[in-house]
Amino acid sequence: MDLALAASYFDDIVASDAYDPAKTFLCQVDPLNLFKVDATAVRRREVMCGPSVAIPARKAIAIGGEIFLVGDASPDYFQGECVRKNYVVQGAEHLASFTSIAGELAGTPGVDAYVSVDFNKFMTDQRFDSEYQAQYEIFASGSETKPELIKIGLDFYLVKGERKSSSGFLTLASNLLPAPVFETITAKSRTYNPATDTWSEVTSSIKIFRVRYTEDFKYLTDASLKYERGDSTVHVLKSALTPKSGDKMALSDGTHNVLSILDSDLTWQCHVRHQ
């Protein structure tokens, strides 16, 4: 008797590729009660299938109208032959967009990916206020690549770190960003003319990415201008503007002065302070 074939006899649940529903396979699904396994316990399951079954490359499947992320395989062997493969799967309730700051500023579509969002902890930054800021663990399949920014509905999450969970999921520590995250502003580029001792201004309308300064900053030297309460970090596309210290930006909460600029690949990262 072929043990692998016998073990697959009761595989009667149809699963499909979440991104390509035409691709299907048969499996069994059971509850999973391993409390030390990463993910949201209420939506964890175990999927079992034959050794020859190929799990979709992006490791997201649909079963009975629900989407599940698929972890690493745990094979069962008998006399040196693989007869069964078991997978921890995690319910994925959101279709997110994996994107970047520069991509959003340029209007470039992100990569759609199914994810599960699990609250991690509250954080406070008393340099700003006493309000709690939420951090989440966002679970994606292990085949995905860490993004800079995740968009779910109207919300944006800034990815701060990544790790691979014991189940094989990509786990992203992500801070929920308070609105407004992206806005269109008026930037004033100021140029000094020493001959006439006057300033000239050129205004332009540009789209920016804005967060609290403590969310996204870097000190290159001890002489770098330090943070003060209310400071923000603003990213602008290099193709849209070349800012310099002393320029002004009219944000949604008032005019801000540009204090310093860092090169951030496709964008300029500006340290700004309320005027």
Q: Residues 216-240: pLDDT tens digits? A: 887 766 666 777 888 999 999 999 9
Same domain for 147 and 216?
A: no
Predicted local confidence at residue 101, as pLDDT? 97
Bridge partners of 155, per DSSP, are 152
Domain CATH code at residue 238: 2.40.10
Instruction: State how many domains the chain has.
Output: 2
Same domain for 121 and 10?
A: yes
Taking 50 as the pLDDT cut, the residues of the chain under it are 1
Domain of 222, in residue numbers: 182-274
Q: Which 8-state DSSP code applies to residue 168?
A: S
Predicted local confidence at residue 191, as pLDDT? 81
Q: Which of 178, 198, 214 is the last residue of a domain?
A: 178
Give the count of beta carbons closer than 10 Å to the beta carbon of residue 194: 6
Q: Are 245 and 158 in contact (CB under 8 A)?
A: no
Helix, coil or strand: residue 18: coil
Task: Give the end-to-end CA distance of the chain in Å, rounded to a whole number.
Answer: 80
Q: Which 8-state DSSP code applies to residue 64?
A: T
Same domain for 198 and 268?
A: yes
Predicted local confidence at residue 222, as pLDDT? 63
Same domain for 250 and 142?
A: no
Same domain for 160 and 240?
A: no
Same domain for 4 and 132?
A: yes
* Backbone φ and ψ of 102, nearest 5°: -65, -40
Q: Residues 117-127: pLDDT tens digits? A: 988 888 776 55
Q: What is the pTM of this model?
A: 0.86
Predicted local confidence at residue 17, as pLDDT? 97
Same domain for 193 and 159?
A: no
* Gyration radius of the chain over CA positions: 25
How far apart CA 257 and CA 275 sit, in angstroms, is: 6
Predicted local confidence at residue 10, as pLDDT? 79
Same domain for 66 and 113?
A: yes
Q: Residues 14-32: pLDDT tens digits? A: 999 999 999 999 999 988 7
Same domain for 192 and 171?
A: no
Residues whose CB is less than 8 angstroms from the CB of residue 102 and which lie 6 or more positions away in sequence, other chains included: 108, 235, 237, 265, 266, 267
Same domain for 131 and 9?
A: yes
Predicted local confidence at residue 109, as pLDDT? 96
Q: Which of 122, 146, 178 is the last residue of a domain?
A: 178
Same domain for 121 and 239?
A: no
Residue type, 233: T
Label residue 132 exposed, middle or buried (CB < 10 Å: 0-12, 13-18, 19+). Answer: exposed
Predicted local confidence at residue 48, as pLDDT? 92
Bridge partners of 13, per DSSP, are 27
Q: Which of 143, 163, 178 is the last residue of a domain?
A: 178
Predicted local confidence at residue 193, as pLDDT? 82
Same domain for 174 and 207?
A: no
How far apart CA 120 and CA 75 sit, in angstroms, is: 31
